[in-house]
Structure 1
Amino acid sequence: MIFSKSRHDCRNPKKNFREYSYKAMLFFIRLQTRYFQFMSVSKNNTGSPFYPIFLRLRRRQVLVIGGNIEAERKVRRLNRAGARITVIADALTEGLEAFAVDESIDWISPPVEPAHLGNKHLIVIADAAPATLDWVRDQAERDGIPFNAVDQLEQCSAIVPSVVDRSPLMVAVSSAGTAPELARMTRSRIERMLRPGSGRLATLLSELRVPIRTRYPDIPRRRQFLNWAMTGPPADAADQGDSEAAENYIRESLADERQTPTGEVMLVGAGPGDPELLTLRALRAIQSADVIAYDGLIDSSILDYARRDAKLLSVAKRAGDKGIHQTEICELLVEHASDGARVVRLKGGDPLIFGRAGEEIDALRAADVHFSIIPGVTAASGAAAALKMPLTQRDRSQSVRLVTAHCARGIDCIDWAALATEKQTLAFYMGIATLDQVECNLIAHGRSPETPVAIVENASQPTQRRITGQLGTLSVLAREHQLVSPAITFIGEVAASVTVPA
């Protein structure tokens, strides 16, 4: 400790002692505080010992030691990165031999010599004797070359992550070698989340960067435009591999004098109820929507996938309840899309099966609104899965008929004679209130009263109920069990295989 002599007062030793004692106390308090801060940081520093980074290896020298399948996997990825690869091995896999024949790699026989390590930007050991591995590692560390040894984490100064490749977009996932299976699972989830055309779209947007910035010089409007491009029609076209169509959508929008991109409507099937039965494409549509107009049959938890700022509009219609008129729904879709919004019309099951999609398609076409359709798992499939029942079976049912039990002109418009034919499965949608008429009409047209039936209420949801019986007691079953919509009724020989726990 050094104290200033200028403040020393020889005439008052007690004062000096108190002053020195006070300064010494402050010094040790500060020292102790810094010590505990350091220990706290050291103790809480649970971060990865590896720094995430991407290496530019195009036309740069990389050494791979080993000729096994692991070496082949490494070489394939390095080759995609444009590296100049040297492989040292006694023998090569067929895949590596093909690389050597194409002169994509230089193949050298062992042993590894010091000259082989010169000018290398990365060294990978896939297969080597322990002595060779130790020597190469030491040389790499001395020369500052990143070094990776397959399945030997403690030897590595560099590790290779699990990668989701949508070039030029790349996502790397790593557990620092401690839980590779977790990293692979995480990569798989990200893989499912990313659209298949993400790479093509990223390249296209990069090429059109100048006209986009010129058209939208202010950042908020440019961000809105890019969001439309990455989630709307251009993204859909890129997903289908049609880069030309994606570019046309973008250029047409840039040429449009309106300040907001053109909106669109997606008719999306939400499946029979269980959110786990959503398709990946349906999930992406919900997550990117500005407006979601949803049916009453939608599980509310599905709406949790929507953006926090998305507008959620209930257009529920239940049996016996008029609710919002279909014409109003069509007008609502056209209105929001015309304002530039990305609109999702979310329907239970599949939108094209008893989902009034026809009227909405006509309205959107008449208004010249771009739209797309994302199919879903229809209720009949979800209910049959809940029953563990096939819809077709060679010796029992050669066809499936999907029937609505309250069509536009009433139940009398149904062709009962055609439905009464044997060896087919009938799936009645939305017909709980008319099951007595279904029973009477089928029997009157020749279907046996002993024909097996199965009913599923709230298929695929926690409140699901399953009931079995015969056609002759169908209406009695519905009353006894107080069945309510939504429910699917199956009639046909395949229902004989259904067993319901007591």
Structure 2
Amino acid sequence: MDHFPIFLRVEGRRIVLSGGGDAALAKLRLLLKTTAHITVFARGAAPEIQAWAEEGKLRLVERGMAPGDALCAALFYAADEDDAEDARTSAIARADGALVNVVDNLEDSQFITPAIVDRDPVTVAIGTEGAAPVLARAIKADLEERLPAALGPLARIGKTFRKAADALPFGRARRDFWRDYYFGAGPKTIRNGEVAVQEALDTLLADHLDRKARPGHVHFVGAGPGDPDLLTMKARRALDEADVVIHDRLISQPILELARREAIMIDAGKEGFGPSMSQTEINALIVHHARSGAQVVRLKSGDATVFGRLDEEIDAVSAERISWDIVPGITSASAAVAAIGQSLTKRERNSSVRFLTGHDMKGFADHDWAALARPGEVAAIYMGKKSARFIQGRLMMHGADRHTPVTVVENASRPEERILATTLDALPAALAAAEMTGPALTFYGLAPRDAAQARPDIDFPVPHAKEAF
């Protein structure tokens, strides 16, 4: 992020602009929505600018800028549409201490003006670091359609009521009140006028003051394989309302950023054969925060019910009589098999699929290797990288075909996803050569679709189109 987004207070402050043509007009149409004191320096300014000056909306100085003209200005816009003049005026403004924007010149600008959706006092700013202004405008157009025109009046009325709402306890109680106002009482009554909205606010506040504090609750949420677009709507709502988020090591940063900014974020990462927070410590954390009245999200990679030690955590909160619910997620096997264009089951190939873990609390996990070694069997193996040689040995010991296809999908669904197509006999060596460091899921008995179709008579390692090494 090269440009940090902020909202700058310009009420009563100077904004200076140099230029009188189309570029200046475009900026001024936006700047005139503010309560700043605007000064324009231009020879032969456009008629619209002259009209705004006559109406007292801005001050027009019909000459070029000179040193000192931008003193005490918060912002300066160079909109002369001439590179040499823009360079001259922006140098003056910098010397005078103003932040400088050179129109259509990202490199020489100290700040950029985002695309704006205006529902005053609600303002949505959209920036693309200057890289894709067309995209910013498209997002703006979409938001303009989605955000009701009544949003502005509701916010203005709500602003006058903030001191009265301070009678509610800080935190969740106030958030619940304002949520009920903006998504319930407010929109229902705004059509009847501001007086009706004020009356609704009084009634709503009295109701919330009489309410008992909401007890703590735990949401066990499946975060999916990593792509935030694969997060369920229910999971997003839970994150939006969470006071505390206790998350696994493998949760992707884009998903963590969906949590409320004020939420307490706790990394309870566990790593196979590596340093970990103990399960007892995690249980104690969940219970502690829920007993304090917090809405807790226990965020688990993939689906919380698949190799997530969910039962131990449910037992811990149930023992303390804390309420809980489970929000399912897309398990990594579903995302990984989609990445290779295959199905977990297929008629005349396999009528069942096994979900296995490569290791458990005691080390490498043992399974029914004889059954798995039969032709046509398919298994999705979680946490199987470090146990690859063990799995290979057990399967081949029980008669598995050495040419059985094996596919390893690293970082399924994420931008850094990689796919390794190999065979059972080559699995450990292929993994070592690939140097995979991210979370990976291993498919025993499945090759990527393009590799499988290349030689339907035999399965062998063929580089996949998405392979990144």
| CA distance in structure 1 between the aligned counterparts of 2:428 and 2:386, rounded to whole angstroms | 9
CA RMSD of aligned residues (A): 3.6
| CA distance in structure 2 between the aligned counterparts of 1:397 and 1:423, rounded to whole angstroms | 6
1:231 shift after superposition:
8.9
Q: Deviations over 1:23-53 (max 9, x none)?
A: xxxxxxxxx9996163758xxxxxxxxxxxx
Distance 1:187 1:421, change over 3 A: farther
Instruction: Say whether the 8 Å CA contact 2:421–2:447 is kept in structure 1.
Output: no
Moved over 6 A (4+): 181-184, 187-191, 229-232, 253-256
Structure 2 match to 1:433: 386
| CA distance in structure 2 between the aligned counterparts of 1:346 and 1:478, rounded to whole angstroms | 29
Structure 2 match to 1:465: 418
The answer to whether structure 1 residue 500 and structure 2 residue 464 are counterparts is yes
Q: Deviations over 1:97-153 (max 9, x none)?
A: xxxxxxxxxxxxxxxxxxxxxxxxxxxxxxxxxxxxxxxxxxxxxxxxxxxxxxxxx
The answer to whether structure 1 residue 219 and structure 2 residue 236 are counterparts is no
Instruction: For residue 220 of structure 1, give the secondary structure of its aligned residue in structure 2.
Output: coil
Instruction: Say whether the 8 Å CA contact 2:358–2:387 is kept in structure 1.
Output: yes
| CA distance in structure 1 between the aligned counterparts of 2:365 and 2:281, rounded to whole angstroms | 28
Distance 1:230 1:322, change over 3 A: farther
Q: Deviations over 1:2-33 (max 9, x none)?
A: xxxxxxxxxxxxxxxxxxxxxxxxxxxxxx99
AA matched with 2:248: D
Instruction: For residue 432 of structure 1, give the secondary structure of its aligned residue in structure 2.
Output: coil
AA matched with 2:338: A
Instruction: For residue 281 of structure 1, give the secondary structure of its aligned residue in structure 2.
Output: helix
AA matched with 1:442: L
Structure 2 match to 1:329: 282
Instruction: For residue 440 of structure 1, give the secondary structure of its aligned residue in structure 2.
Output: helix
Instruction: For residue 372 of structure 1, give the secondary structure of its aligned residue in structure 2.
Output: strand
| CA distance in structure 1 between the aligned counterparts of 2:287 and 2:339, rounded to whole angstroms | 37
Instruction: For residue 333 of structure 1, give the secondary structure of its aligned residue in structure 2.
Output: helix
Q: Which has the larger radius of gyration?
A: 1
Alignment of 1:258-407 (within 5 A): 260-407=213-360
| CA distance in structure 2 between the aligned counterparts of 1:231 and 1:358, rounded to whole angstroms | 33
1:278 shift after superposition:
0.9
Aligned match for 2:406, one of 432, 436, 453: 453
| CA distance in structure 2 between the aligned counterparts of 1:423 and 1:255, rounded to whole angstroms | 64
1:188 shift after superposition:
9.6
Q: Percent identity?
A: 37
Aligned match for 2:369, one of 412, 416, 419: 416
Distance 1:485 1:432, change over 3 A: farther
1:482 shift after superposition:
1.6
Instruction: Say whether the 8 Å CA contact 1:396–1:494 is kept in structure 2.
Output: no
Task: Calculate the TM-score normalised by the size of structure 1.
Answer: 0.52
AA matched with 2:252: D
Instruction: Say whether the 8 Å CA contact 2:358–2:365 is kept in structure 1.
Output: no
Unaligned runs of 5+ in 1: 1-31, 42-180, 192-215, 236-252
Distance 1:226 1:454, change over 3 A: same
Instruction: Say whether the 8 Å CA contact 1:452–1:495 is kept in structure 2.
Output: no
AA matched with 1:221: P
| CA distance in structure 1 between the aligned counterparts of 2:417 and 2:449, rounded to whole angstroms | 20
Instruction: Say whether the 8 Å CA contact 2:341–2:448 is kept in structure 1.
Output: no
Distance 1:411 1:224, change over 3 A: closer
Q: Deviations over 1:374-417 (max 9, x none)?
A: 11111111111122222111132221111100023333532212
Q: Deviations over 1:219-271 (max 9, x none)?
A: 32397347469999xx9xxxxxxxxxxxxxxxxx9999xx6320101111111
| CA distance in structure 1 between the aligned counterparts of 2:177 and 2:367, rounded to whole angstroms | 45
Instruction: Say whether the 8 Å CA contact 1:296–1:314 is kept in structure 2.
Output: yes
Instruction: Say whether the 8 Å CA contact 2:289–2:296 is kept in structure 1.
Output: yes
| CA distance in structure 1 between the aligned counterparts of 2:145 and 2:371, rounded to whole angstroms | 47
Structure 2 match to 1:82: none
| CA distance in structure 2 between the aligned counterparts of 1:379 and 1:308, rounded to whole angstroms | 27
Q: Deviations over 1:36-72 (max 9, x none)?
A: 163758xxxxxxxxxxxxxxxxxxxxxxxxxxxxxxx
Q: Deviations over 1:458-482 (max 9, x none)?
A: 1111221111011111111111112
Distance 1:221 1:386, change over 3 A: same
AA matched with 1:36: A
| CA distance in structure 1 between the aligned counterparts of 2:420 and 2:322, rounded to whole angstroms | 44
| CA distance in structure 1 between the aligned counterparts of 2:373 and 2:464, rounded to whole angstroms | 25
Task: Calculate the TM-score normalised by the size of structure 2.
Answer: 0.55
Distance 1:357 1:35, change over 3 A: closer
| Higher helix proportion (structure 1 or 2) | 1
| CA distance in structure 1 between the aligned counterparts of 2:309 and 2:177, rounded to whole angstroms | 29
1:189 shift after superposition:
7.2
Instruction: Say whether the 8 Å CA contact 1:398–1:423 is kept in structure 2.
Output: no
Instruction: Say whether the 8 Å CA contact 1:397–1:493 is kept in structure 2.
Output: no
| CA distance in structure 2 between the aligned counterparts of 1:496 and 1:254, rounded to whole angstroms | 60
Instruction: Say whether the 8 Å CA contact 1:458–1:486 is kept in structure 2.
Output: yes
Instruction: Say whether the 8 Å CA contact 2:357–2:365 is kept in structure 1.
Output: no
| CA distance in structure 2 between the aligned counterparts of 1:382 and 1:425, rounded to whole angstroms | 16
Distance 1:229 1:469, change over 3 A: farther
Instruction: For residue 287 of structure 2, give the secondary structure of its aligned residue in structure 1.
Output: helix
The answer to whether structure 1 residue 489 and structure 2 residue 442 are counterparts is yes
Unaligned runs of 5+ in 2: 1-48, 59-137, 149-163, 184-207, 452-462
Instruction: Say whether the 8 Å CA contact 2:341–2:449 is kept in structure 1.
Output: no
